[in-house]
């Protein structure tokens, strides 16, 4: 087997070595062995420079994959720094750039940079209809691409990918759908599409929280509706979701619903949404990860979600205990018609 | 003497359509010193509601043209259909099922509240396989619960309260006590 770093090495100045390391990392996250091979440097020299670049903040030391550290550039543009192939990144960036250019032409405001949310929504619309092999993930505010685009990206990230005339035409069609929409309108437009009811309901629930005292019944119904639309992919966070729904629907049944409790529920709702959206991001991203990068991806996923999960489990667990201990007399009577009572009975009896 | 409760007694006291609802409700209101086995608190009661909610969600999803079997590995919808046929019930509406899902959350709280505030002791699970087997009860969870109560009864006299004449058959319980040289408890069918 060929030893790492046993290839023909090039004599270089320290500055050249630094540049070479940064250059190979443009491709994406890499282990030290991969960097040594691709920069054709000695292992100890490479390790030394990687250490310096890490201290300077130029590169980031990431999670270990099979006991190896992973390094990536600080400007690696992918959300959560998950490993997405250069081909996919470049193509996505080319689409995003074309969208910005087309949006400006269509919008008639040459100098104005469109809202980032709007660009993302247009890109998702285009990708899902024309290029479904490119990564699209579910996140906090709906579906997004794997990276964000801003005007300075050219200075830090080099990408070349020219779109065909046909692709440009399709981009124009997607841009047209979003012309005149601000970030919220673009988001809602996406939520109205098939398979996005979970997001739409989340918005409705959020609105109802501002009026929870007066609309406690409606809020409970929406929470139940929300659980019907819970995505299949999020099985690992379902226990948190279920506990939240359990606590919230019961608290909303209290005879005296005080502001403090509503505030607590709203905060938990935000916290829960944060975890669900992170989980959703990784679950939806997983199918776009190359097999050789899967274990790195899973490590990033685990590390990102684990602490959040632990904290939420603690808080929700405490709230559940609190809800369970409230005397039954403090709750409104359970009101159900005969048919529902019969259904309940047959479910419980079996 | 302490009252050991079968889970079905607790559930029936909250299930208004159950034929023994009133008597179970009265029993729970008027008696005290309740005991249950650890196995009943966790996982039996937890799973009972989790499973029922999954069935309802699965049916609701199939009715709203979403994918079915949301969070289960098998067809829960079929299970509800079977139940509906068994009880000759007409198909429930979306509204019925959504309301049912909400009520399952309320009911789960009531049951958990009862266990947390009215049950004075949670007895350890019986690990004696020989005793569990000697009960000759096909329903393994029930066999484990009864065995736990029998072990507890040797130091702390209990009355075993149940609605389930089939699985909690006196003859079988007595026979298991003889075989294992255990004092026989009183069994009360509420």
The ipTM is 0.87
Q: What is the mean pLDDT of residues A17-43?
A: 89
Confidence band, pLDDT 50/70/90 cuts, at residue A179: confident
What pLDDT sits at residue B61?
80
Select the residue from B90, B94, B105 to test the A interface by mutation, using most A Cβ atoms within 10 A.
B105
Report chain B's terminal Cα–Cα distance, integer Å: 16
Q: Which domains does chain A have, with CATH numbers?
A: 14-76 (1.10.10.10), 80-191 (no CATH), 197-346 (no CATH)
CA angle at residue B43 from B40 to B48, to 5 degrees?
85
Residue-range domain boundaries for chain B: 2-189
Q: Residue B147: what pLDDT?
A: 97
pLDDT (tens digit per residue) in B132-186: 999 999 989 999 999 999 999 999 999 999 999 988 999 999 999 999 999 999 9
Cβ-in-10-Å burial (0-12, 13-18, 19+) of A162 comes to exposed
Can you give the pLDDT at residue B17?
Answer: 86
List, for residues A152-173, the tens digit of each pLDDT value.
Answer: 776 656 666 678 999 999 999 9
Q: How far is CA A15 from the centre of its chain?
A: 36
Rounded mean pLDDT, A277-297: 93
List residues of chain A with CB under 8 Å from any CB of chain B.
220-221, 224-225, 227-230, 232, 235, 238, 242, 245-246, 249-250, 253, 323-328, 331, 334, 336-350
Residue with tokens 């996982």: B43
Q: How open is the CA angle A13-A18-A23, to the nearest 5 degrees?
A: 120
**The pLDDT of residue B69:** 44
Degrees, nearest 5: CA angle A170-A175-A181: 160
Q: At residue B68, does pLDDT exceed 50?
A: no
Q: pLDDT over 90 for what percent of chain A?
A: 62
Interface contact flag, A343 B61, Cβ < 8 Å: no
Report the sign of the C-alpha dihedral through residues B94, B97, B98, B99, in that order: positive
Q: Do A221 and B102 touch (CB under 8 A)?
A: yes
Q: Taking residues A48-61, what's their average pLDDT?
A: 92
Segment A291-316 shows an average pLDDT of: 90
Cα distances (angstroms) measured from residue B136 to each of A282, A350, B141, B146, B153: 49, 21, 12, 11, 19
pLDDT of residue A108: 73
CA distances, B168 to each of A78, A173, B31, B32, B186 (Å): 61, 69, 21, 21, 12
**Residue the block writes with tokens 């006590």:** B177
- Which percentage of chain B shows pLDDT scores above 70? 86
Average pLDDT, chain A: 89
Chain-chain contact of A344 with B71 (C-beta, under 8 angstroms): no
Which residues share a beta bridge with B4? B35, B160
d(Cα A13, Cα A25) in Å, to the nearest integer?
19
């Amino acid at each position: 087997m060929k030893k790492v770093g046993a290839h023909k090495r090039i004599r270089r100045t320290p500055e050249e070595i630094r540049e070479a390391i940064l250059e190979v990392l443009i491709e994406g996250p890499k282990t030290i062995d991969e960097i040594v091979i691709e920069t054709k440097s000695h292992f100890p020299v490479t390790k030394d420079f990687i250490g310096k670049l890490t201290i300077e903040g130029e590169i980031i030391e990431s999670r270990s994959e099979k006991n190896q550290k992973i390094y990536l550039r600080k400007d690696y543009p992918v959300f959560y720094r998950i490993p997405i192939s250069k081909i996919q990144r470049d193509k996505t960036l080319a689409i995003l750039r074309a969208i910005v250019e087309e949006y400006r032409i269509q919008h008639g405001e040459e100098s104005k940079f469109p809202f980032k949310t709007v660009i993302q929504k247009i890109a998702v619309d285009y990708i899902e209809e024309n290029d479904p092999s490119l990564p699209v993930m579910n996140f906090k505010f709906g579906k997004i691409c794997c990276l964000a685009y801003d005007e300075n990206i050219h200075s830090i990230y080099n990408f070349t990918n020219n779109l065909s005339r046909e692709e440009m035409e399709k981009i124009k069609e997607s841009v047209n759908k979003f012309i005149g929409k601000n970030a919220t309108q673009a988001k809602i437009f996406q939520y109205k599409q098939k398979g996005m009811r979970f997001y739409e309901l989340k918005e409705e629930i959020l609105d109802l929280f501002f009026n929870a005292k007066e609309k406690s019944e409606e809020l409970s119904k929406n929470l139940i509706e929300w659980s019907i639309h819970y995505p299949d992919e999020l099985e690992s966070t379902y226990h948190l979701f279920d506990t939240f729904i359990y606590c919230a629907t019961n608290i909303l049944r209290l005879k005296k619903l005080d502001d403090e409790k509503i505030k607590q529920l709203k905060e938990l709702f935000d916290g829960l949404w944060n975890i669900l959206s992170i989980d959703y991001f990784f679950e939806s991203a997983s199918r776009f990860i190359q097999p050789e990068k899967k274990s790195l991806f899973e490590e990033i996923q685990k590390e990102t979600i684990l602490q959040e999960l632990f904290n939420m489990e603690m808080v929700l667990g405490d709230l559940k205990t609190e809800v369970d201990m409230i005397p039954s007399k403090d709750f409104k009577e359970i009101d159900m018609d005969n048919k529902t009572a019969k259904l309940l009975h047959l479910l419980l009896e079996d | 003497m302490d009252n050991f409760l079968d889970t079905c007694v607790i559930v029936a006291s909250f299930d208004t359509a159950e034929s023994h609802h009133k008597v179970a409700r009265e029993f729970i209101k008027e008696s005290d010193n309740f005991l249950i086995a650890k196995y009943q608190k966790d996982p039996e009661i937890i799973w009972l509601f989790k499973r029922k909610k999954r069935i309802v969600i699965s049916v609701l999803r199939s009715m709203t043209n979403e994918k079915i079997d949301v969070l289960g590995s098998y067809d829960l919808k079929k299970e509800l259909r079977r139940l509906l046929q068994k009880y000759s019930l007409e198909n429930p509406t979306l509204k019925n099922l959504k309301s049912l899902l909400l009520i399952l959350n309320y009911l789960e709280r009531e049951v958990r509240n009862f266990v947390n505030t009215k049950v004075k002791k949670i007895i350890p699970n019986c690990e004696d396989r020989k005793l569990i087997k000697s009960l000759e009860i096909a329903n393994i969870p029930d066999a484990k619960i009864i065995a736990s109560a029998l072990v507890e009864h040797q130091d702390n006299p209990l009355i075993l309260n149940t609605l389930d004449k089939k699985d909690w058959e006196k003859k079988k319980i007595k026979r298991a006590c003889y075989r294992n040289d255990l004092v026989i408890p009183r069994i009360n069918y509420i």
